[in-house]
Amino acid sequence: MPEDEIDRRVKQAVQEALAAERRGAAERQANDAQNLARLKREAEFLALEKMPRTWGALAVRRTRNAFLLALALLLVGVVIPVQMALGALGATPASFVLCPLQCDQCSGPGRAFHWNYRGSWQSNKGRMGAAHICDHPSLDMEQMTAFEIVKRNDELQPC
């Protein structure tokens, strides 16, 4: 056989193999697209199956969603900004409840102090960089500075 005939047969065999591979890839891609479409339809069907159909179930679901939305708006729009503003001023509304629980003479509102503390997180009784000091007859809270609070943090914090 002449060399040209061999080259032609090899090229033809390579082209046939490439064509077969392309057909196989196209079939796999079509099957993947069909499988993806089927999975999407199944997911939509399951979502529709889980959706409540009765008036009562829909009312419960809508009431729950409305409550969660109102709660989120209340927290994000009112409670968190008020707490942040009071924290920036050094006061916390919780101290009116928590301070009397610490000792008989303790009362709110007290003052909150924050600082950059360097050291172990277990230092200063686990209260790194923050101290909430309640009003007490033995402390003159109005005259105390943040530096004094930082120095006396261990003795001022509850056990």
Instruction: Count CA atoms closer than 13 A to 106's CA, side-chain side.
Output: 17
Please determine, for residue 61, whether its predicted confidence score (pLDDT) is greater than 80.
Answer: yes
Q: Place 70 in a pLDDT band, splitting at 50, 70 and 90.
A: very high
For residue 121, what are the contacts with CB-CB under 8 A and spacing of at least 6? 128
Q: What is the dihedral of CA 98, 136, 133, 81, to 10 degrees?
A: 60
* pLDDT on residue 105: 79
For the segment 116-130, the average pLDDT, to the nearest whole number, is 55
pLDDT at site 127: 47
Query: Out of 85-89, 100-104, 117-121, which region has the weakest mean confidence (pLDDT)?
Result: 117-121
- Pair 117, 149 in one domain: yes
Residues 40, 97, single domain; the answer is no
- Among 63, 84, 105, residue at a domain's last position: 84
Is the model's pLDDT at 129 over the cut of 70?
A: no
Domain of 50, in residue numbers = 3-84
Query: Among all chains, which residue has been given the structure tokens 């968190």?
Result: 80
Whether 96 has a pLDDT exceeding 90, the answer reads no
**Number of domains the chain contains:** 2
